[in-house]
């Protein structure tokens, strides 16, 4: 009996210990006695400023492509800025069918109006403003060119006007611009004739709003009219569409509505970089960085410092956000305008942005240590050039422009890079 009990007891003991030992799990979460008992875990951080870091910089215009701006700026700011909106209705509804009857031409028109949704900009609205709608159709001209369009904003071509009051204008306001029924009948009568409407805003003083583009779907522009006194018959709604240009294929859809600048402030200057405004501008900067910076050190902070050149014009007191985006165009892409469109998504690699007032001067900074890490070479070559693009939050939809000194400016105001880095991490040897 005794040996049996002794046999069972030690085995149970061993089993229990084995189970307790086997249940042990490592969990690494201490540090309360650091740094005293954790030597060698400090990092030497070097702060320095790199100058002459720009290989190429250029202000590029034409952003976005015509017709893709959304929303569209509509502004009249005295001698400085005149921006108008074109809305094309190249296909109009010219016939209708009474319920249970045959299709027939439209002979009755009522409630004819162009409906647009307006948005506020940073420019204070005057108490009263007017939006005029003109028939700017000219199928014989390349009517996307400002020189062809602007002469058609004449009283003879006026289709209708609406008054916009600042009272009751919240963040947005939908207005109906009543159009001349007789002129519209004449347009409908010519079955081949499109209708291209130009909008112009005017007020006693400076005025600027944005018009929702057709990209906004049901909030975009629409032509609406009744074709029967019978209210059971649905209101005809025509949305913008364009049949031209025919090449390249598909681009005509972008031309359904767009804004164009008749007059813009003079902001160009030598040795300057521009971001924003109309036509939309972006700045392309390709860096000439030392290899050690991208390959050999751990960068904690890399702030691009730009010296802002103040613009004292119409938007001097307005603030603007400038984003930095990584250029993904490869080395083979030599067209900077195209390279400036092949960008990493906003917030990728460069999460920072510059918020500045147009009329301010001084140094602004953009944190781009994430970009520096992207430019690390692999087998001696970087996958794409070390370049970024500075762009507004939304291209081509508002007038503020910020201006910076370029690499061709005097040395004191050229772009520079303020970096903090760890020369080499060699943790491990106690």
Partner 1 sequence: MRSRLLRATCWLAALGPFVVGAQGSLAVQGYGYPTGQLSAAALGGGGAGAELDPASPINPATVASGARYSIYSQVEPETRRTELGAARVSARVVRFPIFSATGAIGPVAFGASFSTFLDRTFSNAYADSQVVAGTLLPSTLGAASNGAMTDARFAVAMQVLPQVQVGAALHAIVGENRLAFGRSFPDSSGVGSVEQASVMNYGGRAVSLGIVAAPHKSLVIGASLRTSGPLTVRQDEVALAEARVPARLGLGASFVGIPNTALSARIERVRWSQMDALGTAAMSTFDATEIGAGLEVAGPKVAGIASLVRLGVRDRTLPFGVGTSVVDERVLAGGLGIPLSRGRGQVDLAVQRAARRTDGATERAWLVSLGFGIRP
CB of 362 to partner 1, least distance (A): 17
Cis, bond preceding 181 (omega within 30 deg of 0): no
Cα gap 213→49, rounded to integer Å: 45
Q: Which one of 141, 269, 300, 357 is in contact with partner 1 (CB under 8 A)?
A: 300
Q: Which one of 180, 215, 360, 367 is in contact with partner 1 (CB under 8 A)?
A: 367
Here the tokens at position 148 are 């062809």
The region of 77-85, 148-156, 225-233, 416-424 touching partner 1 under the rule CB under 8 A is 416-424
Here the tokens at position 272 are 């300057």
CB of 381 to partner 1, least distance (A): 22
User: Residues 323-342 vs partner 1: string with x where CB under 8 A?
Assistant: --------------------
Residue 1 vs residues 13, 14, 15: alpha-carbon distances, Å: 19, 20, 21
Nearer to partner 1, 17 or 234 (CB): 17
Residue 338 vs residues 65, 175, 281, 307: alpha-carbon distances, Å: 11, 38, 13, 26
User: Residues 35-64 vs partner 1: string with x where CB under 8 A?
Assistant: xxxxxxx-x-x-x-----------------
How many amino acids of this chain bind partner 1 (CB under 8 A)? 58
Nearer to partner 1, 188 or 419 (CB): 419
User: DSSP assignment of 231-282, as one string?
Assistant: TTSPPEEE--B-----SSTTGGGGGGEEEEEEE------TTEEEEETTTTEE
Q: Which of residues 249-288 bind partner 1 (CB under 8 A)?
A: none
CB of 17 to partner 1, least distance (A): 6
1 binds partner 1 (CB under 8 A): no
The region of 19-27, 133-141, 395-403, 404-412 touching partner 1 under the rule CB under 8 A is 19-27
CA atoms in the 13 A half-sphere facing the CB of 400: 23
Contacts of 18 (CB under 8 A, 6+ apart): none
346 binds partner 1 (CB under 8 A): no
Cα gap 332→108, rounded to integer Å: 60
Cα gap 184→194, rounded to integer Å: 11
25 binds partner 1 (CB under 8 A): yes
CB of 425 to partner 1, least distance (A): 4
Contacts to partner 1 by CB under 8 A: 3, 5-7, 9-14, 16-21, 23-41, 43, 45, 47, 298-301, 303, 351-352, 367, 369-370, 373, 418, 420, 422, 425-430
């Amino acid at each position: 009996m005794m040996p049996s009990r002794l046999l069972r007891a030690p085995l149970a003991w061993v089993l229990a210990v084995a189970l307790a030992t086997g249940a042990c799990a490592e969990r690494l979460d201490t540090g309360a006695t650091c740094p005293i008992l954790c030597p060698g875990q400090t990092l030497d951080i070097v702060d320095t400023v790199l100058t002459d870091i720009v290989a190429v910089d250029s202000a590029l215009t034409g952003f976005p492509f015509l017709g893709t701006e959304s929303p569209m700026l509509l502004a009249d700011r005295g001698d400085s800025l005149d921006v108008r909106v074109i809305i094309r209705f190249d296909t109009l509804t010219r016939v209708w069918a009474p319920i249970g009857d045959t299709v027939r031409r439209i002979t009755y028109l009522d409630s004819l109006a162009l409906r647009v949704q307006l948005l506020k900009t940073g420019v204070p609205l005057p108490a009263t403003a007017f939006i005029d709608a003109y028939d700017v159709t000219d199928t014989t001209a390349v009517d996307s060119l400002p020189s062809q369009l602007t002469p058609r904003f004449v009283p003879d071509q006026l289709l209708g006007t609406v008054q916009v009051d600042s009272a009751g204008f919240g963040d947005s306001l939908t207005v109906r611009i009543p159009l001349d029924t007789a002129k519209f009948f004449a347009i409908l009568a010519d079955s081949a004739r499109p209708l291209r409407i130009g909008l112009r805003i005017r007020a006693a003083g400076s005025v600027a709003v944005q018009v929702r583009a057709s990209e906004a779907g049901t909030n975009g522009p629409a032509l609406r009219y009744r074709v029967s006194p019978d209210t059971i018959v649905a209101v005809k709604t025509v949305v913008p569409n364009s049949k031209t240009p025919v090449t390249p294929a598909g681009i005509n859809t972008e031309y359904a509505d767009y804004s164009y600048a008749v007059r813009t402030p003079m902001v160009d200057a030598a040795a300057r970089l521009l971001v924003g405004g109309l036509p939309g501008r972006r700045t392309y900067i390709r860096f000439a960085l030392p290899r050690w910076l991208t390959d050999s050190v751990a960068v904690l902070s890399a702030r691009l410092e730009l010296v802002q050149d103040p613009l004292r014009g119409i938007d001097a007191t307005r603030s603007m956000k400038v984003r930095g985006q990584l250029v993904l165009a490869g080395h083979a892409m030599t067209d900077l305008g195209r390279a400036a469109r092949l960008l990493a998504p906003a917030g990728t690699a460069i999460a920072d942005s510059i918020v500045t007032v147009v009329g301010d001067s001084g140094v602004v900074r953009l944190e781009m240590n994430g970009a520096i890490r992207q430019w690390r070479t692999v087998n001696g070559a970087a996958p794409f050039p070390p370049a970024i693009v500075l762009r507004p939050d939304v291209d081509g939809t508002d007038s503020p422009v910020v201006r910076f000194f370029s690499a061709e400016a005097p040395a004191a105001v050229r772009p520079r890079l303020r970096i903090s880095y760890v020369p080499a991490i060699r943790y491990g040897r106690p």
